[in-house]
Amino acid sequence: MSNAAPIRQSFTTQMDQALEHLRKDLSGLRTGRASVALLDGIRVDYYGTMTPLKQVANVATPEARMISIQPWEPKLIKEIEKAISNSGLGVTPSNDGKLIRVPLPPLTEERRKDLTKICKKHGEDTKVKIRGFRRDANEELKTLQKDGKLTEDELRKAEQETQKLIEQYGQKIDEIIKKKEQEIMEV
């Protein structure tokens, strides 16, 4: 069965990466509380280079519904405000010349429901991705079997192990989505 081990390891690594990607995507979804992760996707024009906000400013959450951004260079304030306004987050930044404040209005019930739908879509997309990994792994296993490196029984056993892993990762995805939905729906 040692011939199937590298395929299983590669398969597991791909699924772990898919879970991490899901967590990262969900961290950018707004919940009822302020989170610096909300601004992770924002890039600022820094001397002609689009640079992540965290690399040009200190980002913090001093209050439950407020994000503060202190640029390391005061001349970046206008660029940061522009990037936040154009981000589609639906927030309006304000500044006092040194510090940018981003107040987060409370989420409406309708917006919360929309965000949970987005969560579920991310979860389904991740499940589709891991099913694709399963298909690739099974094809590799069948190739090994055709090449005489796996017996028919070893192939069947490896495919069953792959299916068990898919089910385990499906449950992990469901848990991640459920937790994020709870965060979104709490008032």
Whichever domain contains 93, its CATH number is 3.30.1360.40
Q: Is the pLDDT of residue 147 over 80?
A: yes
CA distance 23 to 94: 29
CA distance 84 to 95: 12
Choose the final residue of a domain: 103, 129, 154: 103
Average pLDDT over residues 10-18: 92
Q: Is the pLDDT of residue 187 over 60?
A: no
Choose the final residue of a domain: 86, 103, 120: 103
Compute the C-alpha angle 56/96/65, nearest 5°. 75
φ/ψ of 105, rounded to 5, equals: -70, 155
Choose the final residue of a domain: 103, 126, 150: 103
Distance set, CA 82 to CA 55, 75, 78, 100, 104 (Å): 16, 13, 6, 11, 17
Whether residues 150 and 82 share a domain: the answer is: no
Q: Which of 16, 71, 10 is nearest to 44 (CA)?
A: 71
DSSP codes joined into one string, 112-149: HHHHHHHHHHHHHHHHHHHHHHHHHHHHHHHHHHHTTS
Q: What is the pLDDT of residues 35-88, one digit of tens each?
A: 787 788 889 988 888 989 899 999 998 887 888 999 998 889 999 998 888 877
Domain that residue 15 falls in:
5-27+108-185
Identify whether the C-beta of residue 71 lies closer than 8 Å to the C-beta of residue 59.
no
Whether residues 85 and 121 share a domain: the answer is: no
Structure-block tokens of residue 111 = 């917006």
What pLDDT is attached to residue 2?
56
CA distance 103 to 33: 11
Q: Is the pLDDT of residue 31 over 70?
A: no
Q: Is the pLDDT of residue 1 over 50?
A: no
Average pLDDT over residues 116-134: 92
Q: What is the pTM of this model?
A: 0.69
Whichever domain contains 19, its CATH number is 1.10.132.20
Burial classification of residue 83, based on how many CB atoms lie within 10 Å of its CB (0-12 exposed, 13-18 middle, 19 or more buried): buried
| Mean pLDDT of the residues in the chain | 87
